[in-house]
Amino acid sequence: MARVSAERLTFAHPGVTVFADLGFTLSPGLTLVRGGDGRGKTTLLRLLAGELAPTGGTLSRRVGSLWWEQPGEPAHDAVVAREWLAERQAHFAGWRVDVAEALVEAFGLGEHLGKRMEMLSAGSRRKVGLVGAAASGATLTLLDTPWAALDARSARVLDELLAEAADDEARLWVVADHERPASLADVTWAGCIDLGD
């Protein structure tokens, strides 16, 4: 199980404080990182991923396995979607083939898996990433504005996935978005880190 907590967590670029003095402990299930444009949602996820170091305070991270992927980045353009998933499957001992297959079906991705990422729409690339996030079994899963670019049907599939994640007793799921997602109004969130507007 991952354990992540912060005390007086602060991050600043030279001369610009992005956020200061955040305190939180992540619990299993779903945690929302909420904030307006440029308030530091992605920065906080990068700190949680260990990609950035705090400039103040402490962030204690004991992370068994981490999902933090940006399948939309140009670096992945030439990779065939199925291979992209297979590369990640090789890194996660708890990878769930059945979960991946069910989500590929629900997202209507089957006909696209044989294509290079650059041939896919932004939404389909995101869906490939979400299949990986769910299948990975990662103890800490970080999703940055996961509804962006999804069609309505796929957004509902994501809603169902995250509603299940909310009941997860082992995995920590962190979702960053501008507002508390209305489509998850009935879901119990384990926590919310509000970065303001």
Nearer to ligand ATP, 42 or 139 (CB): 42
Query: What is the closest distance, in whole angstroms, from the C-beta atom of residue 13 to ligand ATP in the complex?
Result: 3
Among positions 16, 53, 97, 152, the unique one binding ligand ATP when judged by CB under 6 A: 16
**Site size for ligand ATP (CB under 6 A):** 11
Cα–Cα distance, 26 to 4 (Å, whole number): 6
Neighbours of 27 (CB within 10 A): 14
x-marked contacts with ligand ATP along 25-64 as a string, rule CB under 6 A: ----------x-xxxxxxx---------------------
Stretch that binds ligand ATP, among 12-20, 133-141, 160-168, 186-194 (CB under 6 A): 12-20
Written as one string, the DSSP assignment of 2-45 is -EEEEEEEEEEETTEEEEEEEEEE--SEEEEEE--TTSSHHHHH
Closest distance to ligand ATP from the beta carbon of 70 (Å): 12
| Encoded tokens for 24 | 């939180």
Q: Which stretch binds ligand ATP (CB under 6 A): 11-19, 67-75, 91-99, 131-139?
A: 11-19
Examine residue 18 and tell whether it contacts ligand ATP (CB under 6 A): yes
Minimum CB separation of residue 197 from ligand ATP in Å reads 11
Q: What sign results for the dihedral spanned by CA atoms 71, 189, 9, 145?
A: positive
Q: Which parts of this chain interact with ligand ATP (CB under 6 A)?
A: 13, 16, 18, 35, 37-43
